[in-house]
């Protein structure tokens, strides 16, 4: 699933706290997240996506009859919260 979207992120730097918009590809995976950088203060941050994942069952008609497929998509809030990057995120 590749989902290209314009997302708004709230800067995790308390001294900044601004909201910025980025166009990013949302990719589903074990631990979906976006690595972002605030254009105002330059602080790198991580926006977790797992909590915004939404699964829905879609029924599609195939050759052998009806088939149920689980479709995953992200239902994001207007502004995504972010958190500081940790050593773990750097890998
Ligand atoms: Zn900032």
pLDDT in tens, 15-25: 999 999 999 99
Residue 20: Cβ within 10 Å count? 18
The DSSP call for residue 61 is: E
Which residues are near ligand 1, the ion (C-beta closer than 5 Å)? 11, 13, 16, 38, 40-41
Q: Is the pLDDT assigned to residue 61 strictly greater than 90?
A: no
Identify the CA nearest to 25 among candidates 49, 43, 42, 57: 49
* 73, 1 contact by CB (below 8 A): yes
Q: Is the pLDDT assigned to residue 82 strictly greater than 90?
A: yes
* 46, 33 contact by CB (below 8 A): yes
For ligand 1, the distance from its centroid to the CA atom of residue 25, given in whole angstroms, is 21
Residue 91: Cβ within 10 Å count? 4
What pTM, to 2 d.p., does this model score? 0.80
What confidence tier does 1 reach under pLDDT thresholds 50, 70, 90? Answer: low
What confidence tier does 69 reach under pLDDT thresholds 50, 70, 90? Answer: confident
């Amino acid at each position: 699933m590749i989902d290209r979207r314009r997302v708004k992120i709230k800067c995790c730097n308390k001294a900044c706290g601004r909201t910025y918009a980025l166009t990013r590809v949302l990719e589903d995976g074990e631990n979906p997240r976006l690595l972002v950088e605030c254009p105002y203060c330059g602080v790198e941050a991580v926006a977790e996506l797992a909590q915004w994942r939404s699964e829905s069952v879609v029924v599609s008609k195939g050759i052998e009859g009806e088939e149920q497929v689980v479709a995953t998509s992200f239902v994001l809030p207007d502004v995504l919260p972010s958190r500081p990057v940790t050593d773990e995120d750097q890998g």
